[in-house]
Amino acid sequence: MAESELRPDLRLVPTGSVRFHERPERHRTLRLVERIRAEGVLRNPPIVAVMQDGHYLLLDGANRVSAFLELGYSLVPVQVVNYGDASVQLKGWHHLLLERDALPLRTSYAALSGVHLRPVSRAQVAHLLELRQVYAVLVENETAWWGLFPAPAKAEIDVHEYIRVLSGVVSAYEGLSRLERIKLADYEQLPQMVQAVVQHQVCLFPLLHKEELLLLAAQGMMIPTGLTRHIIPGRTLGINLDLAFIRSPLSDADKLAHFQAFVDRLSMEGRIRFYEESVFIMNE
């Protein structure tokens, strides 16, 4: 068993040293703020990776870190993972929009600067997305597929330009439609995924790469919410840390010592257990 499996790398770091790569969801942040105030407990630590400048790239837990900032907590407990490890994978979500009346997305996207909207076939979609030759693909009720191409045409879209257009794509429906995040191993799965939905639109997105995410975070650029998902083996769940010490007038050094003693106690009491098999968690 690897050392990381014996004990996760849990740290207490300055909240301001954590770099977001996506925008937190305000309503979820506020719900978390109220829950933390009421319970005074952190159930699962956010997950981060160390950046070259010593800051921490936030991989999972944007709303938790945002809640700590909202509460004025200067320190946040995190789990640190090695982002260079091939087992830590960056995947993506697609967006299924569920509304009785479809939003005029085709019109909105045709008006985006630097975008040429044109029909594509289902057979083209995987190729276009994998090579990032489109900003996104809009699917309307499984009958019409529209590619958002760069204008003028480019062999591959620059990541900064991609994020600029992506913000416009998502803002056209964000807050205006009930949204479900979906993942597809194969775009042929899409009809089965949405067959029970009478009226729907789907936005399909190319994947980002880990190196690009590091670059964007270092430059202070954030992508829209709900597009990235990380596959992280050995996630720490259920630490149920009492946050009273973070709110206390203790010095940062004393708070760090308190947190380290808490983690050491978990280990000595045999409460850190590693499960190799996949599990279903139903506690949130």
Name the pTM for this structure: 0.87
pLDDT at position 13, please? 98
Domain match, 80 and 99 both? no
Domain match, 114 and 187 both? yes
* Residue 189 resides in a domain: yes
Quick: pLDDT tens for 142-168.
Answer: 778 999 999 988 777 889 999 999 999
Quick: pLDDT tens for 14-52.
Answer: 999 999 999 888 889 999 999 999 999 999 999 999 999
Quick: pLDDT tens for 189-209.
Answer: 665 655 555 567 899 999 999
Segment 234-241 shows an average pLDDT of 93
In terms of residue numbers, what domain contains 59? 3-88+230-268
3-state DSSP assignment of residue 187: helix
pLDDT of 1 > 50? The answer is no
What is the number of domains present in the chain? Answer: 2
Say how far apart CA 157 and CA 167 lie, in whole Å.
Answer: 15
Contact 115, 149 (CB under 8 A): yes
* Residue 122 resides in a domain: yes
Say how far apart CA 187 and CA 229 lie, in whole Å.
Answer: 18
pLDDT at position 88, please? 97
pLDDT at position 153, please? 80
Quick: pLDDT tens for 42-77.
Answer: 999 999 999 999 999 999 999 999 999 999 999 999
Helices (H), 89-135: 105-110, 122-130
Domain match, 84 and 99 both? no
Least confident of 18-22, 120-124, 257-261: 120-124
Say how far apart CA 62 and CA 68 lie, in whole Å.
Answer: 10
Quick: pLDDT tens for 207-226.
Answer: 999 999 999 999 999 999 89
Residue 60 tokens read as 């999972």
Higher pLDDT, 99 or 135: 135
Domain match, 38 and 139 both? no
With CA atoms as reference, report the closest residue to 6 among 264, 240, 239, 273: 273
pLDDT of 284 > 60? The answer is no
pLDDT at position 2, please? 47
Contact 37, 73 (CB under 8 A): no
Domain match, 98 and 192 both? yes
pLDDT at position 3, please? 43
Domain match, 158 and 189 both? yes
Domain match, 106 and 71 both? no
Domain match, 245 and 155 both? no
